[in-house]
Amino acid sequence: MSAWWSAWLADGAGGFAWPALLLLIPLPWLVWRFAPPLRARGAALRMPAGTPLATLAASGSAGRGAGMPWLLWLAWALLCVAAARPQQLGEPVAPPQSARDLMLAVDLSVSMGEEDMLIGRRVVDRLTAAKAVIADFLERRDGDRIGLVVFGQRAYAMTPMTRDRASVEQQLEDTVVGLVGRETAIGDAIGLSVKRLQQQPQGQRVLILLTDGVNNAGQLSPLKAAELARDADVRVHTIAFGSDEGALSVFGFRMPLGGEPMIDEAVLREIADMTGGRAFRARDTAELAGIYAEIDRLEPVELPGPQLRPRIERYPVPLAAAAVVALLALLPWRRWRGRGDGNDGGGDVAEVAR
């Protein structure tokens, strides 16, 4: 025990949960020193010699200077140490936490202003519908690092990777159609997202790209950007968003508005296949919400959390030592010593408290 105690103190990582209880250690000595001695004024109490109480009385009657038996005093001190709950800090551990690094790339080209979506019974444009669905998606992404890239004629990083989901949601809410140009630079959006995600650990990089058009601007072609994403271990999920042929969905019925499909679904599927992601098609707000719910169910990546040092309770050691010392103190030492000397233990009775 002494070796453990020395190592515990030398480590500097120990302590007591209730150190005030250590002040009780001198209490028996204070009582013995300052309380008036208990003396019987009548007949003496007699008991057989050799019993623990007789031994205690004999040790106590040896004189005021002998004081309390030292073994009992030591047992009391160990009990006080155990009651103070000695603790030691364990090795640092980092409990895992579920999280992913998600980059959201949202199309702000002029076609996202087409009003062919419904929220409730209200007809809204595609960007408004996307904002509502993505905001709900962000509410479920506790612990993730999320970034936002918007693109039109060029790609622009709105927010860096952050755990502040409210900031990402606010930045998305402030965007408007045509903010970064009227055209659609899908390749540049993927390239910029890959550049930002490369700063994050491998195996945790995910890009969710939402667009309603075809690539008709920018420096990078979509497939070249997909190669960069694959080499950087970025998984890209693509969402083709918009009604078929500009059809408006009203209470389950499709109402053609004219025009030709403007979404290059084949290229979006190829991007997803090249990077290990999935390609989705959303024709209305309900389908878009279902797609983000499915992405939300992707297996999370375990990240190490903040390091913690667990507290290890050490009170059983002084508690067990106190029990052993107390038992030793109550043994009939005078009786055993008398037998060794050929004495019968000093008679049949011992007088206590004359």
Give the mean model confidence (pLDDT) for residues 328-346.
Answer: 56
Tell if the pTM clears 0.85, that is, is over it. no
Would you give the end-to-end CA distance of the chain in angstroms?
41
Phi, psi values for residue 292, rounded to 5°: -65, -30
Q: Measured between alpha carbons, how far is 105 from 304 in angstroms, rounded to an integer?
A: 27
**Is CATH 3.40.50.1100 the right assignment for the domain spanning 96-304?**
no
If DSSP codes are grouped into helix, strand and coil, which group holds residue 75? helix
Q: What strands, in cross-sheet order, belong to the sheet with 205-211?
A: 155-162, 145-151, 101-107, 205-211, 235-241, 279-282
| Residue 261 reports pLDDT greater than 70 | no
The closest of 219, 236, 260, 212 to 109, measured between CA atoms, is 212
Phi, psi values for residue 286, rounded to 5°: -65, -45
Q: What is the pLDDT of residue 65?
A: 38
Q: CB 189: neighbour CB atoms within 10 A?
A: 32
- Neighbour-count burial of 113, counting CB atoms closer than 10 A to its CB (0-12 exposed, 13-18 middle, 19+ buried): middle
Residues 127-176 have pLDDT tens digits of: 999 999 999 999 888 878 899 999 999 999 999 999 899 999 999 999 99
Residues 40-84 have pLDDT tens digits of: 444 455 545 554 444 444 444 444 333 346 777 788 888 888 888
Q: CB 119: neighbour CB atoms within 10 A?
A: 13
Going from N- to C-terminal start, the domains of the chain cover 2-91+311-352, 96-304
If DSSP codes are grouped into helix, strand and coil, which group holds residue 107? strand
Kindly indicate the confidence band of residue 226, based on its pLDDT and cuts at 50, 70 and 90.
very high
220, 188 contact by CB (below 8 A): yes
- Neighbour-count burial of 229, counting CB atoms closer than 10 A to its CB (0-12 exposed, 13-18 middle, 19+ buried): buried
- Side chain identity, residue 26: P
The strand pair at 155-162 and 96-99 is best described as unpaired
The closest of 98, 159, 97 to 134, measured between CA atoms, is 159
Written as six digits, the tokens of 168 are 């990402």
Kindly indicate the confidence band of residue 252, based on its pLDDT and cuts at 50, 70 and 90.
very low
State the residue for tokens 């109490």. 45
